[in-house]
Amino acid sequence: MTGFFDLPTIWAFVIAFAVFAYVVMDGFDLGLGILFPAFAPGPQRDRVMNSVAPVWDGNETWLVLGGGGLMAAFPLAYAIILPALYAPIIAMLLALIFRGVAFEFRWRDARHRRAWDLAFTAGSIVATLAQGITLGALLQGIAVEGRSYAGGWWDWLTPFSLLVGVSLVIGYALLGATWLVMKTDGVLQLQCRSLAVRLGIATLVCMAAVSVATPFLSGAYYEAWFAWPRVLFTAQVPLLVLICAAAFFHGLRRDHDYTPFLMALALFALGLAGLGVSIFPHVVPQAVTIWEAAAPEASLGFMLVGAAVLIPIILGYTAYAYWVFRGKTGHEGYH
Amino acid sequence: MFDQADAVLLARIQFAFTVSFHFIFPAFSIGLASYLAVLEALWLKTGRTVYLTLFKYWLKIFALAFGMGVVSGIVMSYQFGTNWSVFSDKAGPVIGPLMAYEVMTAFFLEAGFLGVMLFGMNRVGRGLHFAATLMVAIGTFISAFWILSANSWMQTPAGFSINEVGQFVPESWLEIIFNPSFPYRLAHTVLAAYLTTALVVGAVGAWHLLRDRRNEAARVMFSMATGLVMVAAPIQIFAGDMHGLNTLEHQPAKVMAMEGHFESHPDGAPLILFGIPDQEAGEVRHQIAIPKASSLILKHDPDAPLDGLETVPREDWPYVPIVFWSFRIMVGLGFLMLALGSFALVQRLRGRLHTSRALHRFALAMGPSGFVAVIAGWVTTEVGRQPFTVYGLLRTAQSASPLEAPAVATSLLIFILVYFIVFGSGTLYILKLMHKAPQTATPDQTRDDETEEHQPVRAAGITPAPAVHAGRAIGSRHGPGTHASPTREER
């Protein structure tokens, strides 16, 4: 049952899409948290918060779909990956609690606003770092025996996983800065442009470092990237990265509002495509393929009917919600 | 120092702790979302400002409760994998799609329209804003539908087969979703959510009536809330009874534990009102019981025989003392709610609904009772299901992740610490909002409390001239004591 468009393959793409949607949407709002200390307390911070307050909750829901979808479509992978990455995942969940409640709490308690701002920043940084470490640890491989995780509790902690973690923090910060270029004006926007330039350079350096390190983690990755004639396709990924990077800096220099954010997203899309090239068709890299981990067809088919109908509808009203709050963010809120 | 059994116990404590905390918020927001939709509908229909005032008042509280529900809910969705990976592998093909449908049909709907509901009143028309409020309310319902379907399936599994690697394989989704205990559990839980919200709204109304019985918003909310309690409490008792009969049919050991029936009673079982269950000895000490009443309730026949736990293998017993007591707490509170509803009805008929201080004090005291009852009911049903995760088929001890106890112990400690800081603060903020009396709101004035910091605080006791008062931004937040109305100063 290893055809190209069988149910497990379709579900692999659906979950990849959920992960991408998560990165596109929650990436920039985590980035705002990471950058928060760069903005002055008072109206500036309030404005940054208001630029995302109406939509953050929907953004984070993609993470729930990614996790829930993985459990439903690839229960074996879910059962192996989550215990293997116990510490970073618990850290991420706890961090998301702090940053999530900060959206409401900071308005309710003026005396402790600084503390909740700090919770927003620390929560965003820890959550992002944990997501990056999770990704890095997945890439470097997980020890599996039978139907469960068989490694130690600190296997995830390596220089490579830390590199991916830090890279993701920088990358999300870039998304946050370019989002604010889009949503603000005046002094705040100028500040964000200059942040975006520096973060753009840092992000490219990080992407290069991770890309160089990955093929040497295992022979399989090297094959996936450099085997002939596959390399003709895979070489397009770095090529497109260069084109997007050029467009990104061009957009910043010419004071475009939207180009930098869109190009930063394109960089992330390419990064994820690169990830896909590396691990497909595995779901637990180097150990379990999507067909081995897949739930029975009765589960996959039942969910696919819903996903095919519901995901377009979700994207529709999500777009509507963004459209309602389009344009530059003012100082209004409901608080 | 630790062994595998400790790791499983710690994982169970962690799950119980995180889910108890989480459950508080949806139990509140399901009812509150509907209440908000009703308030907005009434405002649009009648144009009476008081409904808008109440809508805005409860919207802030809803936003806080909803936010806490979301973040604690994300923890739940990942905990199946972190702490219960074997369960996830085996039951994932059945449970996973139900939860995926919950995310796709409910979570996105709530989250997508929450922003419009909270921030959009000046950006979209009134009709669209009301539609957003409705979507959020409907989303909370759909969410309850799916999660209770999943939970009920774990209690009364149906519509599946088991494959060669021990996974549950779906055979009929209709049988899975509408499994035998689902309709009862859904009705009982949604009614509980409505009651919980009504009791909170009633208590807040009572609190403000005790301080100022002329506050129009307080009068309206107290009247609406006690009206709902009056209707919902008796229905809930009836629904609970039906649910109990269903449990007797499908999970008899749970009912034996709830009733404290260690021994079989071939000719009519007594209803044990109080007693101290002794799991080791298999008896209930110091019991006060009504002869044959248990058979009468459960079988509608005082002489009907009822089996006890002695007919069940000992390794399949739930832990009786917890189930026995949590059940009694839930039922006791249910009857107190009925008493509150009836008292409110009597006072309403006598025209004393807004003036009876005894009623207001009673309603205030009952404010948190819905949460306690909800948690007690949840404990009854979940502990009563033990020692299984999928009833009769998959044991809890065989469901856990291959984790080392210190890892689980550490995360448990951190969870407890974080939850108390975060949700403790959140509860304080909610209480702070509830403590403030509802102030007249207008549709255009959405941003009302940021301005507060920039306004000079007026000294308590100085009454601004009416013209000055009216000229200020209507709806600007008055901290307690700064709103200079005569009734406040007397206090």
pLDDT digits (tens, 9 = 90+) for B135-166: 999 999 999 999 999 999 999 999 999 988 88
**Which residues 6+ apart lie within 8 Å of B216 measured at CB?**
B50
In angstroms, what separates the C-alpha of B419 from chain A's closest C-alpha? 9
DSSP state of B105: I
Collapsed DSSP state (helix, strand, coil) of residue B412: helix
Q: Is A71 in contact with B96 (Cβ distance < 8 A)? A: yes
The answer on pLDDT for B481 being more than 50 is no
**Chosen from B21, B62, B80, B85 to mutate, greatest number of chain A CBs within 10 A:** B85
Q: Which residue of A has its CA nearest to B172?
A: A298
**Which residues 6+ apart lie within 8 Å of B396 measured at CB?**
B8, B12, B386, B387, B388, B389
Q: What are phi and psi of B388, to 5 degrees?
A: -115, 150
Give the CA distances from residue B458 to residues B194, B433, B438, in Å, rounded to whole numbers and listed in that order: 39, 20, 19
B123: contact with A, CB 8 A cutoff: yes
Q: What are phi and psi of B213, to 5 degrees?
A: -75, -5
A295: contact with B, CB 8 A cutoff: yes
A21: contact with B, CB 8 A cutoff: no
**How far is residue A157's CA from residue A133's CA, in Å, rounded to a whole number?**
8
In angstroms, what separates the C-alpha of A82 from chain B's closest C-alpha? 5
The closest alpha carbon to B43, from B31, B58, B53, belongs to B53
Q: What is the pLDDT of residue B457?
A: 37
User: Which helix (DSSP H) or strand (DSSP E) does residue B424 occupy?
Assistant: helix B405-435
End-to-end CA distance of chain A: 54
* Set of chain B residues whose Cβ sits within 8 Å of the Cβ of A61: 103, 107-108, 111
A64 close to A129: Cβ distance less than 8 angstroms: no
The closest alpha carbon to B363, from B191, B189, B210, belongs to B210
A314: contact with B, CB 8 A cutoff: yes
pLDDT digits (tens, 9 = 90+) for B76-97: 888 888 889 899 989 999 999 9
Is the model more confident about B451 or about B314? B314
B126: contact with A, CB 8 A cutoff: no
Q: How far is CA B333 from the centre of its chain?
A: 14
What interface predicted TM-score (ipTM) does this complex get? 0.89
Question: What ranges make up the beta strands (E) of B344-393?
Answer: 388-390
Give me the mean pLDDT over the B40-58 stretch. Answer: 92
Question: What ranges make up the beta strands (E) of A87-243?
Answer: 144-145, 148-149
Length of chain A: 335
Nearest residue, CB atoms, B105 vs list A58, A108, A310: A310
Would you state the structure tokens that stand for residue A231, as one six-digit string?
Answer: 């390399």
Looking up tokens 């370019």, which residue turns up? A178
Burial class of residue B350 (count of CB atoms within 10 Å of its CB; 0-12, 13-18, 19+): exposed
A316: contact with B, CB 8 A cutoff: no
**How far is residue A12's CA from residue A15's CA, in Å, rounded to a whole number?**
5
Q: What is the pLDDT of residue B3?
A: 60
**Which residues 6+ apart lie within 8 Å of B88 measured at CB?**
A71, A75, A78, A79, A82, B80, B81, B96
Q: What is the pLDDT of residue A276?
A: 84
Q: What is the pLDDT of residue B298?
A: 86
pLDDT digits (tens, 9 = 90+) for B225-275: 999 999 999 999 999 999 988 998 899 899 888 988 888 888 888 888 888
The closest alpha carbon to B193, from B382, B372, B423, B370, belongs to B370
The answer on pLDDT for B454 being more than 60 is no
Q: What is the pLDDT of residue B484?
A: 37
Q: Which of residues 173-202 of B touch A (CB under 8 A)?
A: 173
Radius of gyration of chain A, Cα coordinates, nearest whole angstrom? 20
* Total Cβ atoms within 10 A of residue A189: 16
Q: Is A72 in contact with B71 (Cβ distance < 8 A)? A: no
Q: What are phi and psi of A58, to 5 degrees?
A: -65, -40
DSSP state of B400: S
- 3-state secondary structure string, A9-57? HHHHHHHHHHHHHHHHHHHHHHHHHHHHHHCCCCHHHHHHHHCCCCCHH
**Which residues 6+ apart lie within 8 Å of B13 measured at CB?**
B412
* Set of chain B residues whose Cβ sits within 8 Å of the Cβ of A303: 97, 100-101
Q: Is A86 in contact with B411 (Cβ distance < 8 A)? A: yes
Q: Which residue of A has its CA nearest to B95?
A: A72
Q: What is the pLDDT of residue B456?
A: 37
**Chosen from B103, B160, B431 to mutate, greatest number of chain A CBs within 10 A:** B103
Nearest residue, CB atoms, B71 vs list A78, A86, A97: A97
The closest alpha carbon to B18, from B425, B414, B321, B426, belongs to B414
**How far is residue A77's CA from residue A92's CA, in Å, rounded to a whole number?**
19
Q: What is the pLDDT of residue B4?
A: 61
Alpha-helix runs per DSSP H in B47-104: 49-83, 85-102
Q: What is the pLDDT of residue B306?
A: 86
B111: contact with A, CB 8 A cutoff: yes
**Which residues 6+ apart lie within 8 Å of A7 measured at CB?**
A294, A297, A300, A301, A304
B142: contact with A, CB 8 A cutoff: no
Nearest residue, CB atoms, A298 vs list B63, B68, B170: B170
**Chosen from A11, A101, A147, A155 to mutate, greatest number of chain B CBs within 10 A:** A101
Q: What angle do CA A57, A79, A293 make, to 5 degrees?
A: 105
Q: Which residue of A has its CA nearest to B423?
A: A101
SS3 content of chain B, % helix, strand, coil (to 5): 70, 5, 25
Give me the mean pLDDT over the B380-407 stretch. Answer: 87
Q: What is the pLDDT of residue B131?
A: 94
Would you state the structure tokens that stand for residue B192, as one six-digit string?
Answer: 């509980």
Q: Is B85 in contact with A303 (Cβ distance < 8 A)? A: no
Task: Count CA atoms closer than 13 A to A243's CA, side-chain side.
Answer: 8
* Set of chain B residues whose Cβ sits within 8 Å of the Cβ of A60: 70, 74, 111
Give the CA distances from residue A235 to residues A245, A270, A310, A335, in Å, rounded to whole numbers and listed in that order: 16, 12, 35, 50
* Set of chain A residues whose Cβ sits within 8 Å of the Cβ of B146: none
A117: contact with B, CB 8 A cutoff: no
pLDDT digits (tens, 9 = 90+) for B347-366: 999 998 888 999 999 999 99
B73: contact with A, CB 8 A cutoff: yes
Q: What is the pLDDT of residue B448?
A: 42
Is the model more confident about A46 or about B461? A46
Q: Is A105 in contact with B426 (Cβ distance < 8 A)? A: yes
The answer on pLDDT for B449 being more than 60 is no
**How far is residue B81's CA from residue A70's CA, in Å, rounded to a whole number?**
10
The answer on pLDDT for B469 being more than 60 is no
Can you list the residues of chain A whose pLDDT is less than 70?
Answer: 1-4, 331-335
Give me the mean pLDDT over the B103-110 stretch. Answer: 92
Q: Which of residues 140-199 of A touch B (CB under 8 A)?
A: 147-150, 153
In angstroms, what separates the C-alpha of B348 from chain A's closest C-alpha? 35
pTM: 0.87
Give the CA distances from residue B463 to residues B217, B451, B469, in Å, rounded to whole numbers and listed in that order: 22, 20, 9
B89: contact with A, CB 8 A cutoff: yes
Interface size, chain A vs chain B, as Cβ–Cβ contacts under 8 Å: 254
Q: Which of residues 22-61 of B touch A (CB under 8 A)?
A: 59-60
* Set of chain B residues whose Cβ sits within 8 Å of the Cβ of A103: 67
Radius of gyration of chain B, Cα coordinates, nearest whole angstrom? 25
In angstroms, what separates the C-alpha of B388 from chain A's closest C-alpha? 19
Q: What is the pLDDT of residue A333?
A: 64
Mark B368-380 as b/e (b = at least 16 C-beta within 10 Å): ebbbbbbbbbbbb
Q: Is B105 in contact with A303 (Cβ distance < 8 A)? A: no
**Which residues 6+ apart lie within 8 Å of B190 measured at CB?**
B30, B141, B144
**Average pLDDT score, chain B:** 85
Q: Which residue of A has its CA nearest to B64?
A: A104
* Set of chain A residues whose Cβ sits within 8 Å of the Cβ of B103: 61, 64-65, 68-69
B337 close to B195: Cβ distance less than 8 angstroms: yes
Q: What is the pLDDT of residue B279?
A: 83
In angstroms, what separates the C-alpha of B355 from chain A's closest C-alpha? 32
B93: contact with A, CB 8 A cutoff: yes
